[in-house]
Amino acid sequence: MLNPLANKEIDIIGYGEVKNVRRSGRSTYDVAAEATSRVLEYTGLSTKDIDGMSTVLPSSEAGNNFWSNYLGDHLGLQTSWTQTTDIGGASMPGNVARAAAAIQSGYCETVLSIAAAVPTTRRVDDQRSYRSEFRNPTGIQGPPGAFGLIMHRYMHEYDLKFEALGKLAVAQRNGALVNDFAVEGLRKPITVDDYLNARMVSTPLRLLDSVMPCDGGNAIIITSTEKAKKLGLKNIAHPISYAELTNFNIHDQLPDITETGFGVAGPQALEKAGMSTDDIDMFHPYDDFLIAEMLQLEQIGFCSRGEGSDFLLSTDISPSGTLPINTGGGQISAGQPGLAGGQLNIIEALRQLFGEATDRQVPNPSTAMCTGIGVIPYVRNWGTSAVLILERG
């Protein structure tokens, strides 16, 4: 299988993160500026060293159809390659692959991949098509409602053990407790019983199954391995494999809503890397809801279909365990800064690979799998499934 990342010609050389805050009152540009400043400081680069930019269109700026232009201008970037990706929470892992392709094609050499969003301060998005005509007028509670439908169907076909989801909720909360960038209100311990007794939002989905929206942002810098060597940087990670699938099974008008694009993209990403799930040292899945993580475990191949509950219950998913999962709290316990949340798991994976995760450090990890999920379609599963595998350089 063709894998343009196989030769390890591409490096991620640093990360910058802004603390997640609810109703920060900040502008998207201010958050983007802080994330940019932090990643430049981490790598020792200046804005003049950046010649490419990739980003995601956040709901706080969605009315601006010149978003890339405005953002690059604000940050003081002169770029020969510019990209806004709008496949939701899959945009930022997607941008790693898109930036790598642009660098390998010679369009640019050093890319700032930046995500910033302040949805709890400002929202100007307006989604038409099926959403305004066939979703909102029904009264379904948005994404929690869609995942309530997925969970009940899963329970009809397989065995769902809520204590397994509770274990995952507790493990991620433990990560947020030691993550200074997490929303402060979420930095309180929880138990499996807290999860089981949490208020229902849209049955059988509970409040503690769900993300907490907030404002925040983050950035990474992607360049050629050749350039990274010249810079003499010691903390580098190679993206070694990527697979993405949008509108899985779109021709089927009665699709199985428990089935997702990860059943294709997961095995593809592993095959491209020449790996099996045993070679993955840490799993940093996109986590809008806990059940989404369980579906990914099954469909990427960490366990068989329907075995997700037993897998979670029998696996140590803590930082010192056999498969650490979302060690920084994930979006569910650190907060979801809108679509900028789609790069939080990459930031956490880099922090771990570079040995900088302090109280939650995974012992000497060399590989990480990060994923992205984009959009809730009309009574189907999610729209985009993306899988990125990173390896310490």
Partner 1 sequence: MAKRDKKPRPAPTPTNITQPFWDGINEHKFLLQYDSVADKYQFYPRGLSVHTGKQDLEWREVSGKGTIYSYTETVIPARGFEGEEPYMIVAVNLEEGVRIMSLLHNCPNESVKIGTPVRLCWDKINDDFEYFAFEPDR
**Is residue 378 near partner 1 by the rule CB under 8 A?**
yes
In order, the DSSP letters of 272-335 are: HHT--GGG-S-EE---SBHHHHHHHHHHHTSS-TT-HHHHHHHS--STTSSS-B-TT-HHHHH-
Judged by DSSP in three states, 25 sits in coil
Contact, 130 vs 111, CB < 8 A? no
The region of 15-23, 95-103, 198-206, 292-300 touching partner 1 under the rule CB under 8 A is: 198-206
Count of residues touching partner 1 (by CB under 8 A):
38
Among 1, 124, 250, 313, binds partner 1 (CB under 8 A): 250
Shortest distance (Å) from residue 126 CB to partner 1: 11
Half-sphere exposure of 211 (CA within 13 A, CB side): 28
Q: What is the CA radius of gyration of the chain?
A: 19
Measured from the CB atom, the residue of 105 and 136 that comes closer to partner 1 is 136
Interacting residues with partner 1 between 113 and 172 (CB under 8 A): 128-130, 132-142, 144-145, 148-153, 156
Q: Minimum CB separation from partner 1 for residue 387, in Å?
A: 25
The end-to-end CA distance of the chain, in Å, is 23
Count other Cβ atoms within 10 Å, centred on residue 306: 14
Q: For residue 14, what are the β-bridge partners?
A: 221
For residue 64, give Cα distances in angstroms to 58, 59, 61, 126.
10, 10, 6, 12
Selected binder of partner 1 within 5, 87, 205, 208 (CB under 8 A): 205
Interaction of residue 184 with partner 1, rule CB under 8 A? no
For residue 348, the surrounding DSSP H or E stretch is: helix 344-353
Site for partner 1 contains 384 (CB under 8 A): no
Residue type, 335: G
Q: Stretches 8-16, 195-203, 293-301, 337-345: which one binds partner 1 (CB under 8 A)?
A: 195-203
Closer to partner 1 by Cβ: residue 194 or 271? 194
When binding is defined by CB under 8 A, the residue of 46, 48, 232, 254 that contacts partner 1 is 254
Q: Which is nearer to partner 1, 37 or 249 (CB)?
A: 249
Which residue number, 200 or 313, has a Cβ lying nearer to partner 1?
Answer: 200
Positions that interact with partner 1 (CB under 8 A): 128-130, 132-142, 144-145, 148-153, 156, 199-205, 250-251, 253-255, 257, 378-379
